[in-house]
Structure 1
Amino acid sequence: MAATRTAFGTLERVAPALGVRWATNLWLTVPRFNGRARPAIPAGTPFIVTVRDRKVRGTVWGSGPAVYLVHGWGGASTQLLSFVTPLVGAGHKVIAFDALSHGASDPGELGPRRTTIPEMARSFMAVVRAHGQPHGVVAHSAGASSTFYALRDGLRPERLVFLSPMAQPTELTMVFAATLGFGERVRTGMMRRVGELAGAPWDDFDMPRMVTRIAPPPLLTVHDPADRETRYADSVALAKVWPAAELVTARNLGHWRLLRDPATVTRAVDFVTAATPELKAV
């Protein structure tokens, strides 16, 4: 890391264009998924859909109104299996999938282990076209970002659950820059280049700013203030502007344990299945 910081600091001063290319590549690189413990669940039915001739693989369980499980950046559908049994038991069809460049699915347009939020959203929408509009969506981290992006592309859920969402990525670029040792020339150039590769301006990924451009369904967002991957402040900002939102403050669960926490799973399932959810901050 010391060598990386030195190199970025030099590029910031003398060759910012090279720094932008390097930072952009790192920003768009999907970390390797190390896997988490899987709960015992009934076998589902595998499926494949295509996005621009690339295969997206997933699994479906049960029958009834559809609920989609959407993993985050560097994640996989297996992380969300704790939600399957209670949702199926509540009378829902449950669909989980690996976005392009994740899990068992094909690499995306930028190559292996590289993707963008809009491409993750395209993976999601291809699955929706095959399995129907959602009654609910449970999305983790950047999966919340891709879900939000899909809301502007025809996704029409009746309930949303965001777990540790990344709602304000500009703030994360500041942390990214401070960690790697580059300054404003490289950071702003990286944001511009990422937007070009994603095919969307950077502001499109700021959920609180863009919420007025969608018809937002009721939202439950769950976040731990001690989360080291995404900012609790993102959920606070989102809950302030979302017309019907409930913010649940989790404790001692971080970014990943949240997905296996029985109380969080129960809260999310109850919210998705409730006819009239109670909306209040906790």
Structure 2
Amino acid sequence: MGVSGSKKSTTVRADRRRAARRRRAALQLALVRTRLAALQAVSPRRAASLALDLWCTPPDGAGRRRDDRTIPGRLTTVTTDAGARVVVETWAAAGGGGEERARHDGGPTASGSRAGAGVVYLTHGWGGWRGQLGAFVEPLRAAGYRVVAFDAPSHGDAGPGRLGPRRSTMPELADALAAVVREHGDATAVVAHSLGTATTVLAVRDGLPVERLVLVAAIADVLGELDGFADLLGLSRPTRELLRGLLSDVAGRPLAELDVRETLRTHPVPPALVVHDRADKEVPYPVGAALAAAWPEGELLTTQGLGHHRLLRDPEVVRAVVDYVTPVRPAEPVEHDLARRGA
């Protein structure tokens, strides 16, 4: 079947916009590399400070502002221990509107969880926001769960982080999740995307109560990501070492603690479903496959042609995630493979 003229024209315009964005990004990168090369020749510390600022600045891509919510939830805010304002959106379990109102009028039960259905939390990635995971909301509600999504500091509709507007850190995102869970009850599950997977694991390392995790397009080697960032900017060895020191100071902890694999070696973790696409250009598929293999009680769901973001709205992926967080489970971990064209 032929492609209509209007559809073809729309596709061509979209391709041109993407090409223009790539050209602008390449030019900006060249300018930054030139500036850093000159700066680190005279002051590696100032160069490291600039690199830190770039590392702590979430991207502002149009794809990361996609909104897949079908209905709005109830908006509230929570404040992290560091004083950052986090925007929270909640949905009652299907047919549970009265319970949702009562929940907001009362506090946690004696056990720390709230009465009613289990709670599933949706955690966005670096530069993302709560609307990106909106496709999970209605299926989870239909399965009997309350759903809680949030915007971390300097993301979406949230307030600025400790470093100021449009600046944040991994520990800050982990602290935001912990603050939201304290307010809304222990987690039946957390569904996390991209860097949100690493920040969720960091929160688990710090004691987050959660029964199981779903890690979509997971990042496991944060220090490797930092090395790749330094390579991209052309940082010298002295500048890299200074950058690591500055980042550790900002994080308030050793950088090794940010690494998912380090947490697997040193801390207990709940069962996890790792969802990764073979065509993911942001986080290569072998990263997810290796993470699932290393994870105690880990399962791997492999997809084809969905890339890094379309996973979040693919009906088969959403169905598999809902099935995973539902209590009836197979006795042994299994590996799945969903081969399909991109949605």
| Among candidates 70, 81, 89, match of residue 59 of structure 1 | 89
Deviation string 1:88-128 (CA, Å, 9 cap, x unpaired) is 00000000000111111110111011111111111111111
Asked if structure 1 preserves the Cα contact closer than 8 Å seen for 2:37 and 2:235, the reply is yes
Q: Answer with 42-51 or 113-122: which moved more.
A: 42-51
* TM-score normalised to structure 2 length: 0.77
In structure 2, stretches of 5+ residues that fail to align are: 1-28, 94-116, 337-343
Q: Residue 62 of structure 1 aligns to which amino acid in structure 2?
A: A
Aligned equivalents of 1:198, 1:276: Cα separation in 2: 37
Percentage of identical aligned residues: 42
Report SS of the residue matched to 1:110.
coil
The within-5 A match list for 1:215-254 is 215-254=268-307
Residue correspondences, number:
282
The within-5 A match list for 1:119-268 is 119-268=172-321
Aligned equivalents of 1:239, 1:80: Cα separation in 2: 21
In structure 1, stretches of 5+ residues that fail to align are: none
| Among candidates 50, 64, 67, match of residue 38 of structure 1 | 67
Structure 1 or 2, whichever has the larger Rg, is 2
Asked if structure 1 preserves the Cα contact closer than 8 Å seen for 2:74 and 2:90, the reply is yes
Deviation (angstroms), 1:69: 0.2
Deviation (angstroms), 1:36: 4.4
Aligned equivalents of 1:192, 1:233: Cα separation in 2: 29
Asked if structure 2 preserves the Cα contact closer than 8 Å seen for 1:4 and 1:181, the reply is no
Deviation string 1:156-205 (CA, Å, 9 cap, x unpaired) is 21110001111101221232122222233222321221111010111011
Deviation string 1:12-61 (CA, Å, 9 cap, x unpaired) is 44422122111111001112253544345233211111123332111111
Q: Which has the higher contact order (CA 8 A, sep 6+)?
A: 1
* TM-score normalised to structure 1 length: 0.93
CA RMSD, 1 decimal: 1.8
Aligned equivalents of 1:40, 1:3: Cα separation in 2: 38
Change over 3 Å in CA distance of 1:237–1:148 after alignment to 2: same
Asked if structure 2 preserves the Cα contact closer than 8 Å seen for 1:208 and 1:237, the reply is no
Change over 3 Å in CA distance of 1:77–1:89 after alignment to 2: same
Asked if structure 2 preserves the Cα contact closer than 8 Å seen for 1:33 and 1:103, the reply is no
Aligned equivalents of 1:258, 1:69: Cα separation in 2: 14
Change over 3 Å in CA distance of 1:40–1:204 after alignment to 2: closer
Asked if structure 2 preserves the Cα contact closer than 8 Å seen for 1:222 and 1:247, the reply is yes
Deviation (angstroms), 1:72: 0.5
Change over 3 Å in CA distance of 1:233–1:171 after alignment to 2: farther
1:281 matched to 2:335? The reply is yes
Aligned to 1:17: 45
Report SS of the residue matched to 2:210.
coil
Runs of 4+ in 1 over 6 A off after TM superposition: none
Report SS of the residue matched to 1:147.
helix
